Structures are given as C-alpha cells and as structure tokens.
Amino acid sequence: MEVLLYYSLRKRLRGPLETGGYVATIRDVAQRAGVSVTTVSHVVNNTRPVEPNTQARVRVAIEALGYRPNLLARGLRSRKTNTIGLLVPDNSNPFFAEVARAIEDAGFEQGYSVILCNSDMKEAKQDAYLSVLLAKQVDGLILISSGDSPDPVKRIMQAGVPVVVVDRELGDLPVDQVLVDNEQGGYLAGSHLVGLGHTRIGYIAGPSDIRPSKGRVEGLRRALREAELELDPRAITRGDGRYTGGEEAMRELLARRRDLTAIFAYNDLMAIGAVAVLRQAGLRVPEDISVIGFDDIPQAATTVPAITTVAQPTSELGNVSARLLLKRLTSVADWEPSRVLLPTTLVVRESCQKRRGAHDASSGGRSAGGTGAVSTPVTHDKHAAGRGVVTDR
C-alpha cells in the first residue's frame, strides 16, 4: 500500500526544479509536501509514526528537491554525530593502516563513520587534530598517541568524550586501554636468536618516548639474561620506525659493532631497511647476520629474504578497541575502565638461521658464548597467538 502511494504521489509532486545551485532546506520539503516542518523531521529521523500517505508525500518531496539532512546541525541538537575520531602516529605504516581498517569496519557495522587523522609522530600535529575532532563533536575517540604523555588523553576526558587508548600504556589513568604484550614479544625474539646460537645481538630501538619500544628491549634483555648474556649498550641504536630509520640505524650499528651476528629491529619497516644496508655492505642475510622484526606487516613476508618477525594481533587490536568504544557509546550504564593485554606470536621465515659453529639448542648443547641456549616449541598453528609460541609460515 505504502509503495503504491509513494509512486502515485511521485508522479504528481516531482518535477523539474530550477535551483540555480540553491541547497534545499527542510522548510522547502515541508512546503512542497504540504505538511509541517515537524512532520518532515519525524519522517527523516523516524522519531514518531507518520500516516502512510503523508509519509509518502514527504519522501517524494525530498527526492524531487534533492534534500539532504544537515548531519552537523542534527548532531548539535541531539548531541550525537555518529562519528568516531581515530588518531594514529603514521598511517603510511602498514601496521597502523591495518589497525585503522579494523576499527573502520567495526564502526561501519554499527552505523558510525570514522574520521582518520595522522599525527606524523608529532605532538603539535596531534594536538591540532585533537582540536579539530573535538570541534566536530565526534561521539568518541580512539587514540594511538605519538608519545607516552597522558596529557592528550586527559584533554579528551576533560571534554567529556569517551576515549580508548591503543598500544600506549598509561598506568592507572582511568581510561580504557588496549595493549600488546611487547615485553613478551621482545622475549620471543631474543629467545629465538639465542636458541640459534647468537651471542652478539644488536637492537634497533624505536622512538624513545613510546612504551612499546621499552617493552621490546626489556623482553630481549630478559631472554639474554636467562642465557647469561648481556646487551652491549654499543649494540643499541634508535630509529624513527620507518624504512629510512632502519637504514640509518643499521649504518650506525655497523660503524660501532661490525662483529654482530644478529639484529632485532623495533618493527618490520626498520628491519627491511636494515637488510638493505647489510646487503650494500656486502653482508648476506641470514648467512652472515640474522635479522628479526616486529609487527608482521605484509611486506615482511614478500621481501627477500622473508623477514622472521614477532606478529602483533593487528586486526584484534582494532576490533577490541572499537568494541570497547562502541560499548561506551551505546550503553547507558557506566563501568570500570578496561585494560586488555593482547599476546604476540613468533613467525619464523628466512631471515634468521643458526650461527655457524653453534651447537644445536635442542640437543642440550651450549651456545658459542658458552651459555645455555633458549629453545622455544614450534607449532604450525597460525592462530596460536597469545600462548608464546612460534609459528612457521
């Protein structure tokens, strides 16, 4: 019945409209349909039942005029814009791009649009984008901060906007946090290298002011301590988390410690950059020096040699973050902030191999440095993340 009414009225009410660039308003729709502005509002927002014939007239008028509701004005009235702000440090990094995609998909399923902003790892740019997002009255924010300072989060909370912090540990701050066990990931990397007989290991750290870099080197040091080894301060250098940062850091390490037999990089992009520099220096990976990364971005599997890496549960990181925020936005009840810690998995590929002259760790031998090697069980279970296991792929 409603469909017949719609098409019958459509013939009568629609017609050529010479707007001259004029944007139709809700009043224009009301006048054309012969109803009140309130009635049009009820039809558009589905806030109250409207008689089928009247509803059909309004829909035809909307189509004829090309009317589009002003979402910003609607948001100002209802205090809801159905938008989520997402701030990431570097959207050119495939890791952050995949996290953003998972968040966008989860938001879209629930009727939310995601506004993505890239801070470029600069606090000033991050602060500027925060101002923009808050001015746009986003319903909530997901923040992967450019640093570990709690100030941006406090600013969001003071504005009364729900926020979820991702991959940045903020201690006891009463806010939802979704984290990755970076210390466990660093331990997996260190244990793998020691198990291959490596005793002279270098570390390319990430930016100094973010928690993930600290956690990964702490895990590496724990694995070395268990093997009665130490991480030489001269074997540590920093990069910015990008490919070029890995190149620069590797050149610096080669100038300091040409005798290193293995490198653990803060992330895959820097690991790939390090491999390029090692190749330029005439060193073969993994025959002369092993390299292990972190993140498991797609490029890690396609580069030559394929990079052994510590995989983060990237999609889960985005999904859990989005679900926590959407729960805050759709629930009238309040609850204690959540702190979710997601595990990592070691993915064994081609860029690491047993050091020449080292004993087999599985046979109970000793490493070249005279200490007991650490061995880790191997499984082919691709979905074993979180149990501290190794995956071959």
pLDDT, tens digit, for every residue of 71-118?
555 554 456 789 999 999 998 999 999 999 999 999 999 999 999 999
**130 vs 161: CA distance, rounded Å:** 11
Question: What is the total count of domains within the chain?
Answer: 3
Q: Which of 166, 156, 232 is nearest to 200 (CA)?
A: 232
Residue 363: pLDDT band with limits 50, 70, 90: very low
Residues 108 and 206 in one domain: no
Residues 369 and 265 in one domain: yes
Could you tell me the strand order of the sheet in which 176-180 lies? Answer: 113-118, 83-88, 140-143, 163-166, 176-180, 339-342
Residue 44: pLDDT band with limits 50, 70, 90: confident
Residue 45: pLDDT band with limits 50, 70, 90: confident
Percent of the chain with pLDDT over 90: 60
pLDDT above 90: residue 279 = yes
Q: Which of 231, 226, 223 is nearest to 200 (CA)?
A: 231
Half-sphere exposure of 64 (CA within 13 A, CB side): 24
pLDDT above 50: residue 5 = no
What is the Rg, in whole angstroms, of the alpha carbon atoms belonging to the chain?
28
Element containing residue 362 per DSSP (H, E): none
Residues 200 and 127 in one domain: no
Give me the pLDDT at residue 46, please: 72
Q: pLDDT per residue over 217-255, tens digit each?
A: 999 999 999 999 999 999 999 999 999 999 999 999 999
Give me the pLDDT at residue 42, please: 83
Is 381 part of a structural domain of the chain?
yes
Domain that holds residue 192: 182-312+343-392
Q: What is the mean pLDDT of residues 280-292?
A: 97
CA 386 to chain centre: 18
Alpha-carbon distances of 34 from 10, 78, 96, 332, 374, rounded to whole Å: 14, 26, 51, 38, 80
Residues 118 and 176 in one domain: yes
**CATH at residue 385:** 3.40.50.2300
**39 vs 42: CA distance, rounded Å:** 5
Residues 383 and 249 in one domain: yes
Residues 243 and 350 in one domain: yes
Burial (CB count within 10 angstroms: exposed 0-12, middle 13-18, buried 19+), residue 155: middle
| Terminal C-alpha separation, the chain | 59
Give me the pLDDT at residue 21, please: 55
Domain stops at, among 69, 92, 122: 69
